[in-house]
A and B are shown apart, each in its own frame.
Chain A
Amino acid sequence: MFLISLLIIFSPLIGSILLLFLQNKSKSKTTFIANFSIAISAVLSFALLIFFLINPDVVNNYKLYTWLSTEQSVFNISIIIDSLSIFMSFIVSTVSLLVHVYSVGYMNKESSYNRFFAYTTFFTFSMLLIIFANNFLQLFIGWELVGLSSYLLIGFWTNKETAIKANLKAFIVNRIGDIGLILGVCLIFAHVGSLDYKDLFLSLPELSQKTISIVGVHVSLISLIAFLLFLGAAAKSAQIPLQFWLPDSMEGPTPISALIHAATMVTAGIYMIARLSPFFEQSLYVLDIILFIGCLTAISMGLVALVQNDIKRIIAYSTISQLGYMMAALGASYYSLAIFHLMTHAFFKALLFLCAGSIILKCNHEQDIDKISGLKNILPITYSAFLLASLSLIGFPLTSGFFSKDMIIEALKYNGNINSYYILSFSIFITTLYTLKILIKVFFGEQKEKASSELEHDNPIIVPIVLLVIPSIFIGLFFIGPIINDQFFTTSLIDTPKTNLFYETIVINPILFSVHSLTSSSFYILILGVLFSYFFYFKKAKFLILISEKLSFTKNILLSEYGFNNLSNIIIPHYFKRFGNFVWNKADKIIIDDVFVNGIGRIINRFSIKIRSLQTGFLYHYAFTMIVSLIIFLLVFYDY
């Protein structure tokens, strides 16, 4: 077990290191190393999952070694193997493998082919590090590495200005979250004296008594820590108000978008909160905040997606919106539902992105859906895959997305969070609108491109697309029982009894749940959405267009992402720039640069040159120095 999990984690790292040192070597070698190293991870993760399903006793913490020990505490590097980490590593490595296979075709003409794979394998490694961490130290290392590799990958095209701006933005926003995370971790360390999750959970009763005073106001310690950690998670998982880096991250190559959105980055925040569920459970305030933020993100970002034209940006906003669902599930303490939705979302979202990549490649890197149309006959496979993924995304009964999403909505209703229930139900309508908007605009209508002689299935990128269709549609049906009902997550999440109760009263079994959903409001909202989009986008019904023209003010608000775009692109940069210029000129240049940095440097340099001249090179000077020093020593210590 231990060896397998080690291999799962480190095989991508080894691949990455190998790739870094094989620079400028043959492409086939690069392809082999990258895919092979990820394949090892994926296959072993799958094996681990199977093994776990057969024998759930493998749950364990394996200590790798002691990294550091001080008088007060010990820092171990260890690996946690339980249902949650096994499940997550299965998702991450599988999606990552498919994306890698896809990239072989997609990035084929890229000159920095090798660099790309070195980064992606490293990205996967970082995420796996987070997943298998059993303490905050490793979590933080993985967290930072994920941030770093996303920075490198979003700005992969280093000479594209927008890409550079986007990766900077992503990095900075993540940094804000990281501040929250590290402050939280520091508080935990200060009060628990250990960074292990286990020790944190053990000392919960003691911690819940403590309060901490901030500017005279007493705050419950647990709530404060939970809030800080949530800040970190919100930045990584792109929740309001730290969401605006994610759409911009579309500047990277499309496989990277798939990787970031589906598996390796945005899920980290969700995962962390789920992993720390016993801890978050102690702070109802923060859970409410999480629920609120989740619902807000789900609806508002869905609305923004409506007015976008860039195919990748729409999907990106949809990701944020879906992450909102997961956050809402977390906030309502349905941790396993959140993880379940995370999984189904990983698959269908990866599929959507890969399809988008296929479309973009076909249309010579045109991403505006108003300029693309009629691809149905040119890209038949992509079309069908996209259609199925869209069905899953909008939650069409019996698809994966249906089970996970509707279950969250039903669970909220069951739990009594009626407001959230309505918001998320309405959000389905919006999801349907923007999803079908892409589908209709891109695949139907007038055929602009010539049907080329090159057949679609000749391109290697089609293989992972086809492979991803299967889990996108069916994995929900397969896993809903084993995961939600059979107490799969008992060992790692603490919501099992609650979720179980919900399952037994509402869901009962997948088929019944589908039947039941026919009577639920979400299904009718879905139908309504489909009808609307049919008239709106396909038939281009006059009155609907009229309505949208009348609402141009709203549209502008949405286009500017409720001002977040202005905030992040214009206002904050502008004022910060002015403030920065001021600080730079006055504080930095004069005080820090001239006085401290250069000043100290200059002083040290001058000093250095001065005392260097003591090193004359004459033997008698040396001997003289020695004897004089000896005499000084004798004089100084004579009195002792």
Chain B
Amino acid sequence: MMNFLFIMPEIIITTSMSVILLIDLFLKKKNKIISYYLIQFTLLFLIFFLIRNFEQITSLNHQDFSTDIFSIVFKTILLSGLIIIFYYSYNFLRYFKVYKTEYFLICLFGLLGMMIITSAQDLLILYLGIELLSLSLYSIIAYNKDSAFSSEAAIKYYVLGAIASGFLLFGISLIYGLTGTISLNEVFQFIYDSGSRDAVQNVGYIFALTFIIVSLGFKFGAAPFHMWIPDVYHGSLLPTTLLLSSLPKIAVFIIFIKLLLQAFIGLFHFWADMILILALISIVIGNIIAIVQTNFKRMLAYSTIANIGFILIGISLGTQESFTAATFYTLSYVIMSMAIFGILTFITINGKAVEEISDLSGLNENHPWQAFLILLTMLSLAGIPPLIGFHAKLFLIQVLVNSSYFIIALFAVIMTVIGAYYYLRVIKVIYFDKVSTKINLIISSLIVSINTLLLLYLGLFPYNLVNLSKFLMSGFFST
């Protein structure tokens, strides 16, 4: 009999999803909370399972589905992130009476996709994970059936996502045509062995890489393939935006690592500049358009684009330090993103969810602690010490300087300064504007406070996260 341990987490998720789906069908409306707790329990159990069987799982070496330390650590991060996101989302959905267990189950499908991505060692399995993730995202974006925005956003994302997937598949097929394999390691080996190539082959690689990178750029939300991000962030419910802006970013980052670092590192000269251009355009577009936004979620959408630009800079340099910095940036960005959307999910303005920045005016008057939390996240996003966002930007700029990309480093600094404007504007609104709305809190803010204070903690003690990033990246550079 085969040993299924290496794929056990995925099996557990699938099984429990099926079971919870069935249980939920037969629960009365007021008892639906049971399914929520079951889901949370499943996630906790999975974390426990991964930690408990860490040694055993990592020792397995499956050809197409790796269970190395890298993937297990990322799976644990994704699982714990999702638990917190579910906690925020549940309270929000419950308060606005739009709770359905299916929402969480769809998210779990997305999680399954992300877990497959972290383990995939094969272009097709990778593609399977990406599609599973994308499909579940399409559906949770459309979740808010009553809102025209929501449906519009979902349709846009769906159609564009389909195009992007088409590009990705086309790129993969070209790679298969050129190398005759879809396994990441074999692709690497093939490129490594073939050494100098003829011009035709190079054109083939460039075509394949361009299609793949464009598609991944779309999934990541890098400009000029960013068009869906503002509409989707704006159109969907806050919990959906929360989910979208956090975990999938990690997943797409992992795809970048797997493809560019593991498979195509031999083609570094081809892809480095492409990624760099994507990065620079993203930083410019994100930071500059964010300035004129009045909607909080749209503003954060553009801020996401800008931050992704920074991550891409780290990827584009292709060194161990730069990838470490990019990993650090991604992880810290996800924590920041979870913090800010987490805070927004439990603030209501006149009984509605937060939309405009001006909705929060004078928040400090009645809710000083919540105002302080937003202050912390905004300062962290703006990159002000001693918060984590500062270190994230610092490490990246340091890597740029060490690699002698002085102009790009300068550019990044200037763009950070421009970016600080719109973050600080939020602080201005919260602290100095007159109260104009009635602001209520849905739940007590213990968890979100911990999440936000984590920004401060990690800013003061960044070494835990730095070492984690170093450790995660070291595996790819040891050989």
Chain A contacts to B: CB under 8 angstroms: 21, 23, 65-68, 70-71, 604-605, 607-609, 611-612, 615, 617, 619, 621-623, 625-627, 629-630, 633-634, 637-638, 640
Contacts and interface: CB of A to CB of B under 8 A. Distances in A.
Interface in B113-148: none
A285 to B, nearest CB: 37
A608 B160 contact: no
Q: Which of A621, A629, A633 has the most CB of B within 10 A?
A: A633
Interface of B: 155-156, 159-160, 163-164, 167, 202-203, 206-207, 210-211, 213-214, 218, 224-225, 227-228, 230-231, 269-270, 273-274, 285, 288-289, 291-292, 368-369, 391, 398, 402, 418, 460-463
A67 B460 contact: yes
B270 A640 contact: yes
Given A21-B368, A619-B155, A608 B398 contact: no
B397 to A, nearest CB: 12
B269 A640 contact: yes
Given A67-B460, A619-B159, A634 B289 contact: no
A65 B269 contact: no
A615 B225 CA distance: 11
Contacts of B225: 625-626, 629
Given A608-B288, A630-B211, A637-B274, A65 B227 contact: no
Contacts of B202: 640
A615 B224 CA distance: 11
Contacts of B460: 65, 67
Contacts, number: 82
A539 B5 CA distance: 102
A622 B398 contact: no
Nearest to A632: B224
A475 B287 CA distance: 62
A604 B418 contact: yes
A413 B386 CA distance: 50
A611 B285 contact: yes
A621 B159 CA distance: 12
A633 B274 contact: yes
B228 to A, nearest CB: 7
Q: Which of B210, B369, B418 has the most CB of A within 10 A?
A: B210
A626 B460 CA distance: 41
16 contacts: A21-B368, A65-B460, A65-B463, A66-B463, A67-B460, A70-B398, A608-B289, A611-B289, A612-B289, A615-B230, A615-B289, A617-B231, A626-B164, A627-B163, A633-B213, A637-B270
Contacts of B463: 65-66
Contact of A615 (B207, B227, B270, B274): B227
Pairs A-B, 6 closest by C-beta atoms = A622-B227, A629-B224, A608-B292, A608-B288, A630-B214, A608-B291
B402 A626 contact: no
A223 to B, nearest CB: 33
B160 A623 contact: yes
Nearest to A634: B210
B354 to A, nearest CB: 21
B207 A634 contact: yes
A69 to B, nearest CB: 8
A6 B288 CA distance: 44
A629 B214 contact: yes
A67 B394 CA distance: 13
A626 B288 CA distance: 20
A630 B218 CA distance: 11
B206 A640 contact: yes
A611 B288 contact: yes
A600 to B, nearest CB: 9
Contacts of B155: 619
Contact of A604 (B285, B291, B369): B291
Contacts of A634: 206-207, 210
A634 B213 CA distance: 11
A67 B164 CA distance: 42
B375 to A, nearest CB: 13
A626 B398 CA distance: 32
Contacts of B218: 626
Contact of A623 (B163, B369, B398): B163
B207 A23 contact: no
A629 B215 CA distance: 11
A626 B163 contact: yes
Contacts of B230: 615
B288 A638 contact: no
B291 A605 contact: yes
Nearest to B156: A619
A36 B395 CA distance: 41
A70 B394 CA distance: 11
Given A21-B369, A604-B418, A608-B288, 9 more contacts: A65-B460, A68-B391, A608-B292, A619-B156, A619-B160, A623-B163, A625-B225, A626-B218, A630-B211
Contacts of B163: 623, 626-627
B227 A625 contact: yes
Nearest to B202: A640
Contacts of B156: 619, 622
A622 B463 CA distance: 41
Contacts of A637: 206, 210, 270, 273-274
Among B207, B225, B227, B288: residue with most chain A CB under 10 A = B227
B210 A630 contact: yes
Nearest to B159: A619
Nearest to B225: A626
A626 B166 CA distance: 12
B292 A622 contact: no
Contacts of B391: 68
Contacts of A21: 368-369
A23 B368 contact: yes
A625 B291 CA distance: 22
B215 to A, nearest CB: 9
Contacts of B207: 634
A21 B418 CA distance: 31
A529 to B, nearest CB: 52
A423 B274 CA distance: 75
A596 to B, nearest CB: 12
Contacts of A65: 460-461, 463
A564 B159 CA distance: 75
Contacts of A623: 159-160, 163
Contacts of A615: 227, 230, 289
B25 to A, nearest CB: 35
Contact of B167 (A23, A630, A640): A630
A633 B288 contact: no
A607 B227 CA distance: 17
Nearest to B418: A604
B203 A638 contact: yes
Contacts of A23: 368
A67 B163 CA distance: 46
Given A604-B418, A629-B225, A640-B270, A622 B160 contact: yes
B402 A71 contact: yes
A71 B395 CA distance: 11
B206 A638 contact: yes
Contacts of B203: 638
A272 B138 CA distance: 62
A120 B206 CA distance: 65
Contacts of B159: 619, 623
Nearest to B214: A630
B291 A633 contact: no
Contact of A633 (B164, B210, B269, B289): B210
A605 B402 contact: no
B127 to A, nearest CB: 18
Nearest to A618: B156
Interface centre among B285, B288, B398 (most CB of A within 10 A): B288
A630 B217 CA distance: 11
Contacts of B368: 21, 23
A191 to B, nearest CB: 21
Nearest to B461: A65
A609 B292 contact: yes
Contacts of A68: 391, 462
